[in-house]
Structures are given as C-alpha cells and as structure tokens.
Amino acid sequence: MMIATLTARPDMAPVPRVEIQLQEMDAYDGGGAGAAPTGSLDGGSPGATGPEATGGTAQMVTVKVPDDTAHITLWRRDGSRRREVRGVIGAAFSFDGFGALDREAGRGVASAYELECHTVFHGSVTLPIGSVIMPAPAERYETVIQQPLNPRLRAVVTETAANVESITRQAPLDLVPVEGKSFPRLVGFGPRQGLSGVQFSFEVPDRATAAAVWATLGDEEHPQLAAWLVRSMHPLLPPVFFCEVRDLQEVDFDLAYGGTRSRFVAVVSEIAAPAPALTTPAVRYSDLVAAFGPSYDEIGTALPRYSQWGTAWEFASAS
C-alpha cells in the first residue's frame, strides 16, 4: 500500500499549484506501541483531511499500486475537462516514492486526480487518488495567465466588465443538399468543439504587469508559444483552459495623463494542452547546490532518496 498526498498551494510561486506525492506506508511508520513516534505523520483516515499545510490542506488517501507498475500517467479532472498532468505521461515509477507538481490546476474548483498505472503483466489500471480544492482568489475578477510551457512567465490581471460577454462552441458539420429534397442532409458527428472566438479583455495596474503579459508570449530574443493557460473565475469560462493568442492589443487607459494602467484585448479560441509531456523542472539541480553545497554527497546527506531531489519544492528558486 502507498499513501497519496495532495496539497494545494495557492500562492504565486510562481503560480498556484498542487503537490502530488506517493510514498510507501512504511515511510510513515511511527514505531511500535508505546514508542516515541519519530517521523510519524498523522494524515487522518483514508480520504479525510490531513494536516494543515501552508496555503492549503493536505488530502491523504491510501492506494494499492500494482506491484508490476513500470510507468504511470497522472490525470486531473476539474469541471467537465479531464487532462493529463503536464510532465507525468508515461513517467518512470519507483516504489521508493514519487512526486509531481501540477501547475495547471484551477482555483475555487475541485481537482480530482487519477493514477493510471502501466503495468508489465496487467495492462493499464486506473486508480483514484483523491481530490483537492485550490482556494479561490479574494476577487472574482482576478485572473492568472501563463505561458503553458514555462509557468514562470505569468501575469495576474483583472478582468474588465466587458470581458467574455458571450461564448460560442461550434460543431464540425456540413449541410449537403439532396436533389429533389426540400431539406439538406447533415454530415458530421461531432463532438462539439471548445470555446471559439472569445472576446477576452483585462486590465493591468502598472507597466511592470503589462511587460509580464507581453513576456508570456515572448519576443524576438526569447520566442514563446503563441498560447496561454488561463485560470479564471468567470461563470461562462472553464476554470482552466488553453487558448491560442493570435492577436493581442494593448489599449491606453490613463497613460496619456501620467497614469500607469492599460487594457489588453484578444479574441481567443480554446485549444488542446500544447506539448503536455514537456515541463519546466520546479526544482533545479542548481537550486539544490545553492541550498546544500556543490557535491553529490552534500545533497545526498540532506536528501537520501533520489526521488526527494525532484520534490524538495521548498528549495525551488534557491539559486
């Protein structure tokens, strides 16, 4: 048996995220009866809310991972959309422990996670590993936009009153006239597509935030994918969606009068998650070097398991 722990982190470091960890149950052994419970961790009963963590709660459940699991794929469902967690698609699995960071979870909505185990002898087995709710922002109009392939390129913006007044979802079909008939035949079986031609409008308070918005889409020296991951609390929008950003317009609000505010307008359409197997490491080797020293021995003394090297998130950006 293993313990799956989901922890919501709503702070902007660099974006709201969910930490996912899998550890063997003996990793939480607190000793025998009457012994001092060294290294124990009280997570509550399976499926219950566990200990408080900074910025959210840790949800813990027990899960039986097949013994012959070689690779795993992690899935997240929020609202009506089910997506693979970026970077955890056919990933190598070790029973010594596994950790991942989902930097695309929605806010104010339950994110349910499933572990798809690719086994040696039994095919694929999918196991639910719990759900967690990322706290909603204090302001309903607060929206996070980020570059899907680099979450460090992000901006926190404020939706305007004219933002997303309507949505359109098209169905791929054709009407074919039939000779001698009054009505055409329908050719096309769907499914209905995602959002199309959405008028997206938001405001930024200063020039630094405006620069951050443009940086999400890159420039000549630092090109980026022409796409956004948007996390919005708008009632007509999904809590999380990817969109193409073909044209982005910045409009003066009060700059001409010595102010700092401007507005952005874009007409976007929803797309599939771009390159979902690619991810930017949350903890880099340079971060561990800055925290513990330049040698493998120094890092290994502080983090004995190699699986801990990629999940020591408290040391992210230490370099």
What does the pLDDT read at residue 235?
93
Has residue 200 been placed in a domain? Answer: yes
Instruction: Tell the residue number behind the tokens 């009280």, with chain if given.
Output: 42
What does the pLDDT read at residue 319?
64
98-126 mean pLDDT? 95
The reply to whether 147 and 113 lie within a common domain is no
pLDDT digits (tens, 9 = 90+) for 194-230: 999 999 999 999 999 999 999 999 999 999 999 999 9
Question: How many CB atoms sit inside 10 A of residue 111's CB?
Answer: 24
pLDDT band at 28 (very low <50, low <70, confident <90, very high): low
- Final residue belonging to a domain, choices 74, 104, 136: 136
227-251 mean pLDDT? 96
The reply to whether 19 and 118 lie within a common domain is yes
Query: Is it the case that residue 45 has pLDDT exceeding 50?
Result: no
Has residue 302 been placed in a domain? Answer: no
- Final residue belonging to a domain, choices 101, 136, 171: 136
The reply to whether 120 and 176 lie within a common domain is no
Has residue 188 been placed in a domain? Answer: yes
Has residue 307 been placed in a domain? Answer: no
| Domains contained in the chain, number | 2
The reply to whether 70 and 9 lie within a common domain is yes
In percent, the amount of the chain with pLDDT more than 90 equals 67
Domain holding 148, by residue range, is 142-271
- Final residue belonging to a domain, choices 252, 271, 290: 271
What does the pLDDT read at residue 295?
85
Query: Is it the case that residue 54 has pLDDT exceeding 90?
Result: no
143-169 mean pLDDT? 95
Has residue 306 been placed in a domain? Answer: no
Nearest to 311, CA basis, from 18, 19, 9, 7: 19
What does the pLDDT read at residue 306?
66
What does the pLDDT read at residue 30?
53
8-36 mean pLDDT? 76
pLDDT digits (tens, 9 = 90+) for 255-277: 989 999 999 999 999 999 999 98
Question: How many CB atoms sit inside 10 A of residue 274's CB?
Answer: 16
What does the pLDDT read at residue 63?
95
The reply to whether 129 and 156 lie within a common domain is no
Minimum mean pLDDT range among 49-53, 136-140, 198-202: 49-53
The reply to whether 160 and 256 lie within a common domain is yes
The reply to whether 117 and 206 lie within a common domain is no
The reply to whether 121 and 151 lie within a common domain is no
* CATH number where 7 lies: 2.60.40
- Whether the model pTM is above 0.85: no
What does the pLDDT read at residue 43?
43
* CATH number where 189 lies: 2.40.30
Has residue 52 been placed in a domain? Answer: yes
Has residue 299 been placed in a domain? Answer: no
The DSSP secondary structure of the chain, one letter per residue, reads -EEEEEEEE-S-SSS-EEEEEEEEGGGG---STTS--TT-----STTSEEEEETTEEEEEEEE---TTEEEEEEEEEETTEEEEPTT-SSEE--TT-EEEEETT--SSSEEEEEEEEEESSS-EEEEEEEEEEPPPPSSTTEEEEEETTEEEEEEEEEE-TTTTS---B----EEE--TT-SSPEEE------SB-SEEEEEEESSHHHHHHHHHTTB-SSSB--SEEEEE---TTS-SEEEEE-S-EEEEESSGGGT---EEEEEEEEEEPPSSTT----SS-HHHHHHHH-SSHHHHHHH--SGGGTTT-GGGTT--
The reply to whether 55 and 128 lie within a common domain is yes
What does the pLDDT read at residue 301?
87
The reply to whether 158 and 179 lie within a common domain is yes
Query: φ, ψ for residue 127 (rounded to 5)?
Result: -125, 130
The reply to whether 6 and 60 lie within a common domain is yes
Minimum mean pLDDT range among 34-38, 122-126, 136-140, 295-299: 34-38
The reply to whether 6 and 127 lie within a common domain is yes
